[in-house]
Amino acid sequence: MNDKVFTKPIKKQFEFDEEVAAVFDDMLERSVPFYKEAQKITEFFALKNLNENGRIYDLGCSTASTLLSIHRKLSNKAELIGLDNSEAMLTRARKKCEAYGADIEVCNADILSYDYKEADVFISNYTLQFIRPLVREELVKKIAVSLKKEGVFIFSEKVISHHPKLNKELIECYYDFKKEQGYSEYEIMQKREALENVLVPYSEEENIKMALNAGFSHCEVLLRWANFATFIAVKE
């Protein structure tokens, strides 16, 4: 189903409700530059670091697309767990897992308070940016503590520049991308207004610093397009 969420006037801040869940896969592919490439890189490093009988968490798993792709390529036995607090998203995730016969556990949970078991890999695709900064840093610390030695945290985020002119141009570049995907000027402005104070992005440097401060020994960018980036943080 095509994303038409912002073709009409908005009446509330952005939330992952039934209306968004119904078109979410289309929304991602049309709203996130090089989304499929970022997914492939995430899957590659997740599979490289997921050991036999290991465990992987996807925080903010939405419709479970990432975990399903990993499941399809999995050559060893592992526990795949997706967490989200949107029941509308999870309903679609469960239907997809059932359709593909995938043994993936998807749970309605608060990723901030969830009791994580030791894991090989954590994934977070465009989720941290929706968490208030102080709480965000605490979550990343919790992820680092829950990872095994040499475990990895792969996360994708919208990023900003602290150079005002460059940041403005990055936003313009992104809006041009969205127009090429068929979104109107009206839809772009509507979504921007809906996300105001809901999505709070960090700069590339701030994301790396956050990971290092949380206890990771190394963090770097795997992929970046303008104001979108995919990071990997390693625990040693």
> Is it the case that residue 37 has pLDDT exceeding 70?
yes
Annotated ligand binding at 75? The verdict is no
Annotated ligand binding at 167? The verdict is no
> Is it the case that residue 70 has pLDDT exceeding 90?
yes
Half-sphere exposure (Cβ direction) of 202: Cα atoms closer than 13 Å: 24
Per residue in 108-134, pLDDT (tens digit) is 999 999 999 999 999 999 999 999 998
Span 30-34, average pLDDT: 89
Q: Which of 1, 4, 2 is nearest to 186 (CA)?
A: 4
Res 5: pLDDT: 45
Annotated ligand binding at 101? The verdict is no
93's enclosing H/E stretch is helix 87-100
Q: Cβ(211)–Cβ(127) under 8 Å?
A: no
Annotated ligand binding at 35? The verdict is yes
Annotated ligand binding at 192? The verdict is yes
Average pLDDT, the chain: 89
CA distance 70 to 47: 7
Annotated ligand binding at 113? The verdict is no
Annotated ligand binding at 110? The verdict is yes
Res 25: pLDDT: 67
Annotated ligand binding at 84? The verdict is yes
Which domains does the chain carry?
5-234 (3.40.50.150)
User: What percentage of the chain has pLDDT greater than the value 70?
Assistant: 89
Span 76-86, average pLDDT: 95
List all residues 6 or more positions away from 47 whose beta carbon is below 8 Å from its beta carbon.
70, 73, 74
User: What percentage of the chain has pLDDT greater than the value 90?
Assistant: 75
Token pair for 4: 């038409």
Instruction: pLDDT band for 174, please (50, 70, 90 cuts).
Output: very high
Tracing tokens 């792969």 back to the chain, one arrives at 154
DSSP labels, 112-176: TT--PPPEEEEEEES-GGGS-HHHHHHHHHHHHHHEEEEEEEEEEEEEE-SSHHHHHHHHHHHHH
Res 14: pLDDT: 43
Strands 218-225, 228-234: pairing is antiparallel
Per residue in 194-210, pLDDT (tens digit) is 777 688 999 999 999 99
Cross-strand partners of 102: none
Annotated ligand binding at 182? The verdict is no
List all residues 6 or more positions away from 24 whose beta carbon is below 8 Å from its beta carbon.
16, 62, 63, 89, 92
35's enclosing H/E stretch is helix 35-49
Annotated ligand binding at 62? The verdict is yes
pTM: 0.88
